[in-house]
Amino acid sequence: MKRLSPCAVVTLCLAASLTACTSTSPSTGAAQADAADKGTLTVWLQAEAQSLWPTSVEAATAEFRKKYPDVTVTVSYQAWADHLSKFDAAAQADKVPDVIELGNSETAQYTAAGAFIDLGGQRGTFDNSATWQKGLLDACAVGQKLFCVPYYGGTRAVVYRKDLLAEAGVTKAPTTWKELQDAVQALADKNRDNTNFSPFFLPGQHPYGALPFVFDAGGSIASQNAEGRWTSQLSTPSSLSGLKNWKTLVDAGMRGDRTANDLGAAPALAAGRAAMSFSTNGQMVKVFGPEGDPALKEKIGSFPMPSPTRDGEVAPPYLGGSVLAVPAKSAHQQWASEWVRQFTATERQKEFLAGGFLANTMTLTSDDPQRAGYFQGLEKSWSVPPARNWAAVEKANLVKQMLVDIASGKSTPEEATAAYGKKIEGVLNAS
């Protein structure tokens, strides 16, 4: 799940403004503009591209201009907090960008509204399209249609302090659920007198630390019937079994405020107040970065979350990340598709990978042993339900609050999923 704007649900009015009379093919005017091969292409990217890989943006534009030398590419960097509300306003004013980056949990409301062109007929022209990460592709593909292109991804793995585990007698990274439970118990025994120490930092307000257990047990978040109505699946026996496995780890490993979010993981690991967490690569780097303790660089490792239900396998990870779409109201759809093609090319993906993120394809991985945990189990990765109102569920923090209630003991998994499942259904099915 990416950060969300205040604009959570696309109204019918907005749907009309996004699509108007445009089809999924360039209009006559757009075709004429592209035929002239002269003009300006406007690209909206998030700030990460500006701070982490500006040379990739320049390289993609340089490749693009080999084909369209008289087209000027203007890249505007956006903020996650308001980029969707800005896009909505631009659509109403008929001033949409030609390319826009979205989080993979933000696409459903726009694909349902017909806001983006179908790139399905061009899929084979994009590098690595046969091996795109499932969690990113799921945000773009609807049947045979393709409304966006996977850009880059990020997932979570268990980050651990090698030195603290060694002090507790654990000399290798756990590879099974039992080994993980044994490591947590050994850490708890070693630090029994330190009530501020968490063998495994896993607070409640951390959906992507909990929901992998749901999918691991064969559960899911919600499903849609043939009539288009969504039903929560969080109260099914499989989902409840997964949530109980997660709660077992919370109870065994988490000390302190269980209502907190996962942003406290890196500081806790850096300060020696936790030995493990279920965190992103970015959180891992913070442990030994300027905000943490640089002396810990060689003492930090990662491994995938072991599956509680299949011995020796990995719990299916959530794959967050970004995708790139071409708005249906863009006057330069041909140019836009070509720029996206260059920006998601294999050479660019290698640069995103070097920047600490996942490539959009399962065929490119890092040989950095410290990041090893982030590249296992991706073939089973999952994303949020492709519901047009999912962003409203996120904005209302319904899943987070459900997990907080379970983690804190306020409600049993059965009570919490029953109560919040009805709320989730209400939002998903709202017109």
Q: H/E/C letters for each residue in 343-364?
A: HCCHHHHHHHHHCCCECCECCC
For residues 127-145, average pLDDT = 93
> Are 200 and 214 in a shared domain?
yes
User: CA–CA separation, 111 vs 390, rounded Å?
Assistant: 12
Cβ-Cβ contacts under 8 Å for 151 (sequence gap 6 or more): 101, 136, 321, 322, 323, 324, 343, 344, 352, 360
With residue 303 as reference, give the H or E element that holds it: strand 300-303
Residue 387 lies in a domain: no
Share of the chain above pLDDT 90, in %: 84
How many of the other CB atoms lie within 10 Å of CB of 93?
Answer: 9
pLDDT grade for 31, boundaries at 50, 70 and 90: very low
pLDDT of 15 > 60? The answer is no
More confident residue, 364 or 14: 364
Task: Say if residues 300 and 84 touch (Cβ distance below 8 Å).
Answer: no
> Are 16 and 55 in a shared domain?
yes
User: CA–CA separation, 365 vs 348, rounded Å?
Assistant: 13
Task: Say if residues 243 and 188 touch (Cβ distance below 8 Å).
Answer: no
pLDDT grade for 35, boundaries at 50, 70 and 90: low
> Are 302 and 183 in a shared domain?
yes
What is the predicted pLDDT for the residue at 17?
A: 53
Alpha helices (runs of H) in 174-254, residue ranges in sequence order: 177-190, 207-216, 237-253
Structure confidence by residue, pLDDT tens digits, 262-315: 999 999 999 999 999 999 999 999 999 999 999 999 999 999 999 999 999 999
Q: Find the range with the poorest average confidence among 2-11, 109-118, 204-213, 376-385.
A: 2-11
What is the predicted pLDDT for the residue at 18?
A: 53
Cβ-Cβ contacts under 8 Å for 431 (sequence gap 6 or more): none
> Are 226 and 282 in a shared domain?
yes
Residue 77 lies in a domain: yes
> Are 311 and 359 in a shared domain?
no
Q: Helix, strand or coil for residue 261?
A: strand
Residue 385 lies in a domain: no
CATH assignment at residue 125: 3.40.190.10
The first and second tokens of residue 335, run together, are 């140019």
pLDDT of 21 > 90? The answer is no
What is the predicted pLDDT for the residue at 10?
A: 39
Domain count, the chain: 2
What is the predicted pLDDT for the residue at 137?
A: 94
Q: Which residue range(s) make up the domain with 187?
A: 156-316+396-428
Residue 4 lies in a domain: no
> Are 74 and 177 in a shared domain?
no
Task: Say if residues 165 and 275 touch (Cβ distance below 8 Å).
Answer: yes
User: CA–CA separation, 427 vs 349, rounded Å?
Assistant: 36
Most confident segment among 14-18, 112-116, 188-192: 188-192
Distance in angstroms between the alpha carbons of the first and the last residue of the chain: 23
> Are 97 and 162 in a shared domain?
no
Question: Dihedrals φ, ψ of 308, to 5°?
Answer: -75, -15
> Are 135 and 166 in a shared domain?
no
pLDDT grade for 34, boundaries at 50, 70 and 90: low
What is the predicted pLDDT for the residue at 37?
A: 84
User: CA–CA separation, 98 vs 26, rounded Å?
Assistant: 12
Cβ-Cβ contacts under 8 Å for 400 (sequence gap 6 or more): 204, 205, 206, 207, 261
Structure confidence by residue, pLDDT tens digits, 292-305: 999 999 999 999 99
Structure confidence by residue, pLDDT tens digits, 167-183: 999 999 999 999 999 99
> Are 286 and 415 in a shared domain?
yes
For residues 309-324, average pLDDT = 95
Q: Which residues on neighbouring strands pair with residue 283, listed in sequence order?
A: none
Residue 390 lies in a domain: no
> Are 295 and 324 in a shared domain?
no
Residue 17 lies in a domain: yes
Residue 2 lies in a domain: no
What is the predicted pLDDT for the residue at 143?
A: 86
pLDDT grade for 36, boundaries at 50, 70 and 90: low
pLDDT of 9 > 70? The answer is no
Residue 1 lies in a domain: no
Q: Find the range with the poorest average confidence among 4-18, 236-250, 398-412.
A: 4-18
Question: What is the model's pTM?
Answer: 0.86
pLDDT of 1 > 80? The answer is no
Q: Which sign does the torsion angle of CA 108, 112, 114, 115 carry? A: negative
What is the predicted pLDDT for the residue at 57?
A: 98
> Are 107 and 229 in a shared domain?
no
Structure confidence by residue, pLDDT tens digits, 69-83: 999 999 999 999 999
> Are 230 and 351 in a shared domain?
no
What is the predicted pLDDT for the residue at 23?
A: 37
Contacts 24+ apart (CB under 8 A), 82-90: 82/5, 82/6, 83/5, 83/44, 83/46, 84/4, 84/5, 84/7, 84/391, 85/5, 85/6, 85/7, 87/44, 88/7, 88/10, 88/14, 88/17, 88/18
CA neighbours closer than 13 Å in the CB half-sphere of residue 250 = 28
Average pLDDT of the chain, as a whole number: 91
Structure confidence by residue, pLDDT tens digits, 361-384: 999 999 999 999 999 999 888 989
Q: Find the range with the poorest average confidence among 16-30, 292-306, 323-337, 372-386.
A: 16-30
